[in-house]
Structure 1
Amino acid sequence: MSFKNIFCQDRIVNLFQKAIVHDHLAHAYIFAGQEGIGKTLFSKELAKTIFCQHARADACDTCSHCQRITNDNFPDLFFVLPEKNSRTIKIEQLRHLQDVLHVKPLESKYKIAIIQSADKMNEESSNCLLKTLEEPPSHAIIILIVTSLESVRETVRSRCQIIRFFPLSMIVVKDILVNSFHLDEKQAEQLACISNGSIERAALLSSTHALDKKNWLVDRILTLGMNDNLTFSKELLDKWNIQDLEILEEKRSQVKELILSFLLYYRDLLICKIQSGMPVYHTNWRNTLTSKCQVLSEEVLFRIIQVIKTSLEQLDHNANIALLLENMITKILRLQFGDRTV
């Protein structure tokens, strides 16, 4: 694999190819963009191109350096990421990286450190990294991979060149799902529609039978009554197998996908309400959605969507999962059935 296999990021590829050819690489970069759009893959291909023994603007994929990087076995390339069952990158990991970077490269003119989920550094870790960024070794290139720039301290951001990655197109996601994951055209198209340009998310949705669950969810929402909040909350935990998962981060990932399914449904209701002409995902329920939205005002739909978005934010701040779902559903049903005090 090389830059030619990086999709929908031509601007970024061209930027770095010129920097490599003219030897104008910066000491620190932030790769920012949503999950699953190729930031980590690109950073690895970038390292491969920089370290390639056949100096040029793309990796050859055949030399010893390229092959060892492909196999995660190159001494001048380092990855840092949160440890298993941890939501943060610990200061001990950054201190170790400091020590590593201050030792001269073994086989190249550079040492490259790729910090995945760098927006999960706590204050201590950020301060430790900041010291390295303020006085980086001349041979060091540090790449921070983040989904949110707002989570990165300004003092860190100001010392890095920020590179923004964009979601993949629906056509590209669909083609990858068909050609690489061997899905049928219809399933690939549905997954591409809800993946928000993320092949990682599309693949996850495929492996967890998410389409079947989303269909079940719509059918169930359409039958809900005002006082079904507790029953429905328990059904969701069972249907998404959330209680069976032992690792907390896996639970949060499943709950996030569940909440996004709610968001998708009420987004479709709003589109039908305002008759914007935008496509809806739940095409099989188009007539039902059109009828359902007649009894809900735009204001109510906007407020429900805000409740769902707030729940997503709370999920990222260690909220109790069962209580979070119960509260979200209670507020949604109250709004939907006319309680304006929510």
Structure 2
Amino acid sequence: MFEKIQGHQTITDHLEKEIQSSEVSHAYLFSGIDGIGKKKTAREFAKALLCQDQHDKGCGHCPVCTQIDHENYPDVKIIGPKAGEASIKISQVREMISELSIKPYSGNWRINIIDGAERMTPEAQNSLLKSLEEPLSYNIFILITSHPQTILPTIRSRCQSYHFQPLSIVDMEAIILREAEFDRITVAEAIRASGGSPGMALYLLNNSEIQKERTHYLRELYSLLKGDEIKVFTLAEALSKDKATSQEILEFFIHWFYEINLLLEGHPLPDHGEPNPAHRAYHQLLQNEKNQAIIKTLFEMMATIQYNVNLRLQWEKCFIKIMKIQKG
């Protein structure tokens, strides 16, 4: 059970105990950075609950496990933003809710996974709330999110929460080298840039231009912090062209300033990684209190862009606020 999950032993041990003691909760919140293994754990949890093998739960070989892996088992419903859409609409949640009264096809559970739960519109979240307040005995909800603070407190309070921590270098290497063949130096660089997310490390390894793009945005943002007001508008223009890229860079900025926060407080980087020249430049430029205010501003931006807003305008407001923070 959960043999395929690497690096989240505490969480999988808790989930296994719940299954063995028949004390499974009706709702879970899996939080942590993107690409860290939350969805994979949710899928393995579903397999462990529904597997046909009585001796090896979550065997991965029976028809049920195979269908769950291919996301076509009738008792496991997974929803997320549709292709080309930035949010999970109320119509998707209502469709899921309409099926909750249908008893399980073969097992004891219906498992409803919301992948990217922070992207539910306010209407979708409110629609979900009643089902969490009055759950049918055979329904389990698993909300997967990288930004739990954007989910309604009333929803969070009804879920058993598990926070997935960034993985160690050893666990990251094991996962990446199992998935594909790359030289160790390239892997080490991708791991260093990924913030403990094997999914992100693999993404960077397969898309080398992404790292160049991130370096470019760090240089531009550094110039803004140094007082170059033109960067407010050029950065906002560049980041407003594509919402998915905009959100990806925003998440990268948040992670970056968290790393700077560690350095400012005298702590090592995750897994004792060595600061690169960009880390040192930002470290010399920023003060701890201002850095924390910038992180807060970026989180506010993350909450804002979940909705249908003018991206360019919102980025301009965000960068103006960051510049004011730095000027003090």
Both structures adopt the same fold (TM-score exceeding 0.5): yes
Give the CA deviation at 1:19.
Answer: 2.1
* Aligned counterpart in structure 2 of residue 283 of structure 1, from 276, 280, 288: 276
- Structure 1 distance, partners of 2:100, 2:231, is 54
Instruction: Please state whether the residue corresponding to 2:77 is helix, strand or coil.
Output: strand
The whole-number CA distance in structure 2 between the counterparts of 1:92 and 1:199 is: 32
Offset, 1:65: 1.0
Q: Are residue 211 (structure 1) and residue 204 (structure 2) matched?
A: no
8 Å CA contact retained: 1:229, 1:329: no
Gaps of 5+ in 1: none
Distance 1:174 1:133, change over 3 A: same
How far apart are residue 72 of structure 1 and its match? 1.6
With over 3 angstroms needed to count, the CA separation of the structure-2 counterparts of 1:210 and 1:121, relative to structure 1, is closer
- 8 A contact 1:178–1:184 mirrored in 2: no
Partner of 1:181: 180
**1:334 Cα offset (Å):** 8.1
More displaced 10-residue stretch of structure 1: 68-77 or 25-34: 25-34
Rounded to whole Å, the distance in 2 between the matches of 1:217 and 1:89 is: 28
Residue of structure 2 equivalent to 1:58: 57
Aligned length: 322
Asked if 1:252 corresponds to 2:246, the answer is yes
Paired residues of 1:76 and 1:105 also in contact (CA < 8 A): yes
Aligned-pair Cα RMSD in Å: 3.7
Structure 1 CA distance, aligned partners of 2:87 and 2:197? 23
SS in 2 for 1:31: strand
Provide the rounded CA distance (Å) in 2 between the counterparts of 1:52 and 1:11. Answer: 22
**Tell me, what secondary structure is at the counterpart of 2:182?**
coil
Contact 1:304 1:332 in 2 (8 A): no
1:275 and 1:144 mapped to 2: Cα distance? 35
The one-character-per-residue Cα deviations of 1:148-200 (angstroms, maximum 9, x if unpaired) are 33333233233322222222112222333344232322222222123221122
Q: State the secondary structure of the residue aligned to 2:304.
A: coil
Kindly report which structure 2 residues correspond to 1:169-248, keeping only aligned pairs within 5 A, or say none. 169-206=168-205, 207-215=207-215, 228-230=228-230, 234=234, 248=242
> Alignment partner of 1:143: what SS?
strand
| CA distance, structure 1, for counterparts of residue 243 and residue 315 of structure 2 | 16
Structure 1 partner of 2:100: 101
Kindly tell me: are residues 204 and 324 of structure 1, through their superposed partners in 2, closer, same or farther at Cα, counting changes over 3 Å? farther
Matching residue of 1:303: 290
Q: Which amino acid aligns with 1:96?
A: E
8 A contact 1:33–1:166 mirrored in 2: yes
Q: Displacement, 1:320?
A: 4.8
The answer for the alignment partner of 1:11 in structure 2 is 10
Aligned to 2:24: 25
1:303: Cα distance to partner? Answer: 2.6
Q: What is the letter of the counterpart of residue 314 of structure 1?
A: M
Encode CA deviations 1:25-70: one digit per residue, 9 max, x unaligned: 1222222222221111111111112111112463111111111111
Q: Distance in 2 between matches of 1:311 and 1:158?
A: 24
SS for the counterpart of 1:209 is helix
User: 2:59 is matched by which residue type in structure 1?
Assistant: C
Q: Which residue of 1 is the match for residue 301 of structure 2?
A: 314
Task: Tell me the distance in 2 between the aligned counterparts of 1:208 and 1:236.
Answer: 24
TM-score, normalization by structure 1: 0.76
303-312 or 199-208: which moved more?
A: 303-312
Percent identity over paired residues: 27
Q: 8 Å contact 2:51–2:59 — kept in the other structure?
A: yes
AA aligned to 1:255 is I
Distance in structure 2 (CA, Å) of the matches to 1:107 and 1:175 = 36
| C-alpha separation in 2, matches of 1:79 and 1:91 | 15
Give the residue type in structure 2 aligned to 1:98: I
Q: Rate the CA distance shift 1:285–1:66 in 2: closer, same or farther, 3 A.
A: closer
Do the aligned partners of residues 205 and 91 (structure 1) sit closer, same or farther apart at CA in structure 2, a change above 3 Å counting?
same
Is 1:262–1:308's contact at 8 Å kept on the other side of the alignment? Answer: no
Cα drift, residue 254 of structure 1: 4.3
Instruction: After TM superposition, give the deviation of residue 130 of structure 1 in Å.
Output: 2.1
C-alpha deviation, 1:126, in angstroms: 2.5
Alpha-carbon contact 1:29-1:142 (below 8 Å) kept = yes
